[in-house]
Amino acid sequence: MISILAKMKKFDTAWALIDEMRGGKDRPCLLTPQTLLIMIRRYCAVHNVGKAINTFYAHRRYNFDVGIEEFQGLLSALCRYKNVRDAEHLLFCNKSVFPLNTKSLNIILNGWCNVIVSPRQGERIWKEMSKRGIAHDVVSYACLISCYSKSRNLNMVLKLFNRMKELEIAPDRKVYNAVIHALAKGRLVKEAVNLMRMMDDKGIAPNAVTYNSLIMPLCKARNVDGAKKVFDEMLQQRLHPTIRTYNAFLRILRTGEEVFELLTKMKEMGCHPTYDTYIMLIRKFCRWRQLDNVFELWNAMTENGLSPDRSSYIVLIHGLFLNGKLEEAYRYYLEMKNKLFLPEPKIDEMLQAWVSGKQVTAISTVENQPHFNHLDQASSGKLNRESDFLRQPESRTVVRERGYSFWEH
């Protein structure tokens, strides 16, 4: 209940419920440190760092111990929602109360490497650990290797991986997955497969993430046969493909029939599309100008229990607008606003301009309509008079004088 209220940004109601959970003379106390951690995470999610820190210090108000684990929970929550700079500042400002150690700095390192994906900042924290005499463990290497893997720096990935061997730090599954992913993105598929075999020989069984680390780069490189081969091996190992596995294949499909066929197979395998899946496919079908398939997916989203969110509406409205379906785009725009979703400024500007232009055109048409009728009546009256004049007999006489002809007045 606390989590639901906080997600809806009903923080005051959530705090009122927390006060009730404290219990009393006749009621047991239901409040735990985990309850406060939920509030900390929700404040971090909306980037209200001050409230998150105040909630951390509320441990003492509720008679909970405040130790290094609770502090690391705060740091993790801050980094998870991209408040990494605030977390780093908090860590070094409180080093006298909560001494620096490998785990605390790994939290910051992971924030820069895997949340922000900044190799430069990751290297800075890495050097800071060395400067302060704090040892790098397998988690530290996993963070930095993963960062270099995501930023396509294969040389640094292999350099760090070899350094681990030299220091006799045994790689874990996360390290292997990151290196395999980097090799596959570098189109060194054979080397990636060999490394997967080697990790299996060392007693670290490949999981779904390991196979995805191969499948996703292969799909991105349009190596469909190689990706299908890895996918078949994944099924032989009795590993269930994840939504990321299917999304990789859905991205490279070329026809609507192939897309819906794979969606059917997904459901048969017990894997259901997520918001990311629907948004990707709606964008794809809008680009293909297959609007019937767009609306079929839109209805399927609701049938599968996913109420369209803000991102779904933005993608649909933008796609309809680019396909010239302005009336439909405006209808979904109004539906989005009725659900209190904040429109994207660019789409809002485009649709408001279209509505304004439509209103101006309607007003101009109404104002000019009587004027056109008046002109038509005037011109028709003139033609009638001219035709009547031609039909009338000559009523004036001509006077000839001195060799010239004059109308008689």
In a domain, 369, yes or no: no
Q: What is the pLDDT of residue 23?
A: 74
Whether the per-residue pLDDT at 406 is higher than 50: the answer is: no
Mean pLDDT lowest for which of 86-95, 157-166, 351-360? 351-360
Q: Could you read off the pLDDT of 179-211 as tens digits, one per residue?
A: 999 999 999 999 999 999 999 999 999 999 999
Give 370: exposed, middle or buried? Use CB within 10 Å, 0-12, 13-18, 19+: exposed
In a domain, 287, yes or no: yes
pTM (2 d.p.): 0.80
pLDDT band per the 50, 70, 90 thresholds, residue 260: very high
Whether the per-residue pLDDT at 352 is higher than 70: the answer is: yes
Whether the per-residue pLDDT at 409 is higher than 60: the answer is: no
Joined together, the tokens standing for residue 27 give: 């009621």
pLDDT band per the 50, 70, 90 thresholds, residue 30: confident
Q: Which of 360, 315, 314, 366 is nearest to 339 (CA)?
A: 314
How many domains does the chain contain in total? 2
Q: What is the pLDDT of residue 347?
A: 83
Of 27, 62, 97, the domain-final residue: 97
In a domain, 383, yes or no: no
In a domain, 35, yes or no: yes
Of 313, 337, 356, the domain-final residue: 356
Q: What's the rounded Cα separation, in Å, for the pair 310 and 343?
A: 8
pLDDT, mean of residues 218-242: 94
pLDDT, mean of residues 312-331: 94
Q: Which domain holds residue 83?
A: 1-97
In a domain, 330, yes or no: yes
pLDDT, mean of residues 19-25: 80
Of 311, 336, 356, the domain-final residue: 356
